[in-house]
Chains A and B, each alone.
Chain A
């Protein structure tokens, strides 16, 4: 097969599936906008959708890797509840400063996650079973921390981490950030081209790469403009990018980097693609599995902090049922439950699609029951699409 036989869209390196999902997301947004009489594509609604998706989105990024490695974690909602209550309890009842409380929460999350990861990696207990147990146990632990009592968090700075009234980074920083992203994208493209030329490898046409870089830059600036256009009530300054979304974006960038540029990411994919081969070529499978669960702990802690900061309290029911949304976002984003394939950016789109559906239907006054029925079926449609798509492209 020579390179000429490859269709153009594949030579561009653009993932067709992700492109389709972007189109779907845009179609959903326009559809809801029209049906709701112009309520969906407003700065206020988009700000809220982005910010509401952040907690699920943060955990989804790492759930992609867990599923890629042929594991699952059903306990993320419960562990997030447990850590959330703990961090709130340490601040409110024990009087710790918020950084100390967060670090303690991280430490406990690491212990929990490495305990579960150790059962999976070293003893070979299926992660489904380990984390199903965890789903129960850590919900119970969330209750035990404060004996079921709600723990308010009052620190003004801490509350900003959850978005809300003072939870945006402001217009100046938002524009600056967008500009930095644009510069980084362009520099990275140029550096890639120089490196390929240095190694004597052919480069794709400059116009093509310019388009591929221009599209995300335009998207970033459009998003920044929308976030900078939103004012809460009669607050004089515009919000800018909400901090939870900033954290989510940072998490997604870091995880994408891990996937594409580090050994760890490559090993996770190799273990998912062929566990036997991974062991035979000398990949330290146990260690990588433990590191994966440790990474999960870090992100669950971040999600827990954002959640309690957003609610201004830690309650023992925090994150109930969240594991299903997290897994659904990963799956809608094209992560195969059989392992070995998935993408971080896909999970971002998956989480946004789910939240857009939910918010859009809410704007249309669809009842909670009907919304649940529909979102559940959308998940199935996503999996059916996944199966058909792979059959067609030849990735089974």
Chain B
């Protein structure tokens, strides 16, 4: 097996006295989808926000493509090829889709001004790829439908060539057609060798898309298993009771 794209080793994070993430270790390989499961407040989002640079890590090692890294800001995470699609989508509602796609990474002209034409042309291409009906890209995103807003958020990951993609509940606000679109996109990115962390509550997504699943409860990792080895009931048992299924080998795939 190749070097993991991401190795998280003994990651801890506390807010005040509360251990939000407590000694969690997970690997992610190229072309692999790892589903992160657990109740609200289990620590999945916090763990991913540390990888995305939104929160600093209290202790533990983050190793990206074999290199130990210290990710302090979202910009540093982006520089490592880590893209995040947040549950909230992280869109500035008052700006248009083009501005949101490039937000924080604007293309500048040689005179250090915004290269709006270039950005509009590029944006149109990416949006077309995701949804051919999405043409009103110059209106503030607050006027867009839930699916279109999602397209803008996903387009960021696509345009900036994510190596590692974190998707936090990507289908929570979507209709069936758009959910299918996200599903096919995940498979396509997987085929391109992108590693994906998928945070979700939706069992069909877990079994339809993921290669492995990791369950968290109260900040701790319950276990990591190959999705094919476990049943839905066993997964629910882990999420709700924190009970590991018996006689099934964990697949941490920690070996390099």
**CB 8 Å contact bits of B91-132 with A (1 = contact, 0 = none):** 111110001000111101000111001101100000000000
Residue from the list B52, B75, B92 in contact with A277, Cβ < 8 A: B92
> In the complex, how many angstroms separate the beta carbon of A340 from the nearest chain B beta carbon?
4
Contact of A281 among B90, B118, B142 (CB under 8 A): B90
Q: Which residues of B contact A1 (CB under 8 A)?
A: 135-136
Contacts of B108 in A (CB 8 A): 263
Instruction: Please determine whether A200 and B94 come into contact, CB atoms closer than 8 angstroms.
Output: no
Which residues of A are found within 8 Å of B99, using beta-carbon distances?
A: 266, 270
Q: Are B117 and A199 in contact (CB under 8 A)?
A: yes
Is the pair A279, B135 in contact by a Cβ cutoff of 8 Å? no
Q: A199-B121, A395-B142 are in contact. Are A279 and B114 (CB under 8 A)?
A: no
Q: List the A side residues contacting B54 at CB < 8 Å.
A: 279-280
Contact A282 B117 (CB under 8 A): no
Chain B residues closer than 8 Å to A195, beta-carbon distance: 117
Residue among B78, B92, B136 facing the most chain A CB atoms (10 A cut-off):
B92
List, in ascending order, chain B residues with CB within 8 A of A266's CB. 95, 99, 103, 106, 114
B103 adjacent to A283 (CB under 8 Å) = yes
Instruction: Closest A residue to B77 by CB, please name it.
Output: A282
Once the chains bind, are A270 and B90 in contact (CB under 8 Å)?
A: no
A277 to B153, CA, bound (A): 11
**What is the CA–CA distance of A261 and B106 in the complex, to the nearest angstrom?**
11
Neighbour of B121 across the interface among A2, A200, A267, A284, CB < 8 A: A200
- Which residue from A196, A267, A269, A277 sits with its C-beta under 8 Å from B117? A196
Distance in Å: Cβ of A64 to nearest Cβ of chain B:
14
Q: Which residues of A contact B (CB under 8 A)?
A: 1-3, 195-196, 198-201, 260-263, 266-267, 269-270, 272-274, 276-284, 340-341, 394-396
Q: How far is the CA of A273 from the CA of B89 in the complex (A)?
A: 13
Assess the B120–A274 pair: CB atoms within 8 A.
no
Q: Does B74 lie within 8 Å of A270, measured CB to CB? A: no
A340 and B94 within 8 A (CB): yes
B91–A277 contact, CB under 8 A? yes
Chain A residues positioned under 8 Å from B94 (CB to CB): 269, 272-274, 340-341, 395
Complex alpha-carbon distance, A201 and B117, angstroms: 9
User: Is the CB of B231 closer than 8 A to any CB of chain A?
Assistant: no
Task: Let me know if B234 is at the binding interface, CB within 8 A.
Answer: no
A199 to B121, CA, bound (A): 7
Add 13 more A-B contacts to A272-B94, A282-B74 (CB < 8 A): A3-B136, A262-B113, A263-B108, A266-B114, A270-B95, A273-B95, A274-B90, A274-B93, A274-B94, A277-B91, A278-B103, A282-B78, A395-B143
A262: chain B residues at CB < 8 Å are 112-114
Complex: how many Å from CA A269 to CA B103?
11
CB-based nearest A residue for B73 = A282
CB distance from B170 to the nearest CB of A (A): 15
